[in-house]
Structure 1
């Protein structure tokens, strides 16, 4: 008697579909987090990354104003809205996405000079939490990809330092090896605690890690 638990979905390489795309699709079909996200109404499996990080670090507790950088497709903001239904949430992304009730979404490049002021205006006061799931589009050269993504993390940190209230938190995606020494030093200068974490929902083969900085010491 066969059991579904032991079965894996196989995807044939369709005409015109690259082998890499087929492998990605097969991985998606067999990913328990993808299946769980569909069943529980989350827009992506990434929702479980923030759920697991929050279970460990508790940065969503009592938040009233939250910025979500790289919001699309919206899984992180869905979790924020569930955990803190009264919070003001403002997100930004280059990609177009469906609205999320209770969230203000700006479709534009975070690196646009106008973006920080527009985000602050929409938020209406100091943030308790700045989230960043931004990553640069990869070019296949590890060192270049790392530098480009870390540049986004540094820009996100600079923005967080402008908008966070004292005691606030900053959570950002970094790549394998975590934040580099200079960035860690800057985080430690600005926050009471700085930790690196790889939540269980982050695929084992993925190069992504997260930095969780809590206890913002204030601007300056």
Structure 2
């Protein structure tokens, strides 16, 4: 899985449907991001284009998937780096949005700990991960089936291990995993029913968290802290 695969998939009809319904869930949890400094960790550009007008947005793309110049026809806002050793100062961001990242990393605890380091004390983290109980993580027609899916309990455990308190969780993407237009045509009906029931077989889990200010500080080895790289992405048209 690399950034070209992700970019191309989000340009498909199925990709458009997935983006639209996940974005609706994101806006439910984060209805107002005006004036905030936000880090997008992973391939989240399709979800945050509208944020560029309201907030300071930075994108950190994991070295495993590669990087591109984004946004198009504007100064680049992306860096290519290791997701567990981010090149930002402590308490630099108001919010961190993580998508297409945790499922591909070796240790989600390290990634969340590093995000906690660069998050302000009153900041928020929002992760989107494939749902282990959902059909999307078991059908290889989308990036949601590539990588490690999570259950609610696994995500909560990872948050706790990283001294992050779960504040909100939400199921999203109830349309069946398919590329067939006649099924995608009814996606709004599937989503309305699924949102009302908050059915556990959703395609993704959204989980918001905040720093546990009463927990001990996370101590990272100096070797890990020294391995922070910023690489220049290639200019390439994206969504």
Hey, what's the Cα distance between the residues in 1 that align with 2:30 and 2:131?
Answer: 23
RMSD: 3.7
Contact 1:173-1:211 within 8 A present in 2 as well: yes
Cα gap change, 1:183 to 1:50, in 2 (>3 Å): closer
TM-score, normalising length: structure 2: 0.52
Alignment match of 1:172 (pick from 116, 127, 136) = 127
Number of the residue aligned with 2:168: 194
Residue 68 (str. 1) matches residue 40 (str. 2): yes
Alignment match of 1:92 (pick from 42, 48, 60) = 60
Contact 2:165-2:212 within 8 A present in 1 as well: yes
Hey, what's the Cα distance between the residues in 2 that align with 1:168 and 1:81?
Answer: 19
Contact 1:187-1:194 within 8 A present in 2 as well: no
CA shift, 1:33, in A, is: 2.9
Higher relative contact order (CA 8 A, sep 6+): 2
Hey, what's the Cα distance between the residues in 2 that align with 1:53 and 1:205?
Answer: 18
Hey, what's the Cα distance between the residues in 2 that align with 1:49 and 1:102?
Answer: 29
Number of the residue aligned with 2:223: none
Cα gap change, 1:107 to 1:190, in 2 (>3 Å): closer
Residue 51 (str. 1) matches residue 17 (str. 2): no
CA shift, 1:66, in A, is: 0.8
TM-score, normalising length: structure 1: 0.55
List runs of 5+ in structure 1 lacking aligned partners: 1-23, 35-44, 137-147
CA shift, 1:32, in A, is: 8.7
Residue 108 (str. 1) matches residue 81 (str. 2): yes
CA shift, 1:98, in A, is: 2.9
Cα gap change, 1:185 to 1:54, in 2 (>3 Å): same
List runs of 5+ in structure 2 lacking aligned partners: 1-7, 133-149, 179-201, 217-239
Q: Deviations over 1:141-182 (max 9, x none)?
A: xxxxxxx64745433311221111123221222222344635
Number of the residue aligned with 1:163: 118
How many positions carry a matched residue from both structures?
Answer: 160
